[in-house]
Amino acid sequence: MSQRIPDRVDPWRLAEQGQALSGRMPLHALPRLAVLLQDAGHEVAYTVRFGRDWDRRSTVNLKVQARLVLECQRCLDNMTLEVDTETPMALVNGPLEAEQLPNELDPLMLAPEEYLDIAALIEDELLLAIPASPRHAHDDCAHPGELDSVKPADKQQDNPFAILATLKEG
């Protein structure tokens, strides 16, 4: 069922055809992510579904599932972050089009002839899922005594913009 993923695809054409790509990819193949991991031996499972919405927009729905082994920033021991996200996006040609999207669609900006790097898209999604300061849940941490200065990671994950804001502050 899983197919070998092409490095770059034409997302506009795939959207017109309503195609989907799915498979698994080793985390060590994603270099920007791999440097943050204590163990890059796991895989990410992904599904990228292309299509058109009722407004004739070209859409890309990205689903990723992965187990990321990170270093807890409180006890410096390994911790596991389960990532399971689904992000609906729309292909746009520029910032003007991006502004016109409804709130539920994230803009994916590409020139009309530009190809889409699927691996980079998956990598970006996983990077966004990592909190600015990853920590064990209080009960699982070897040094739970220190007071948390940030909200628990699972609360931040509900809102990708909160994570972006945290990243910018850091």
20 binds Zn ion (CB under 5 A): no
136 binds Zn ion (CB under 5 A): yes
75 binds Zn ion (CB under 5 A): yes
153 binds Zn ion (CB under 5 A): no
| 8 A C-beta contact, residue 30 and residue 119 | yes
69 binds Zn ion (CB under 5 A): no
81 binds Zn ion (CB under 5 A): no
CA dihedral 6, 12, 13, 14 (to 10 degrees): 60
Give first-to-last CA distance, the chain, whole Å: 41
Q: Where are the beta strands (DSSP E) in the chain?
A: 8-9, 20-26, 43-52, 58-71, 78-92, 106-109, 116-117
Contact segment (CB under 5 A) with Zn ion among 70-78, 124-132, 145-153, 161-169 equals 70-78
Contact segment (CB under 5 A) with Zn ion among 56-64, 65-73, 85-93, 95-103 equals 65-73
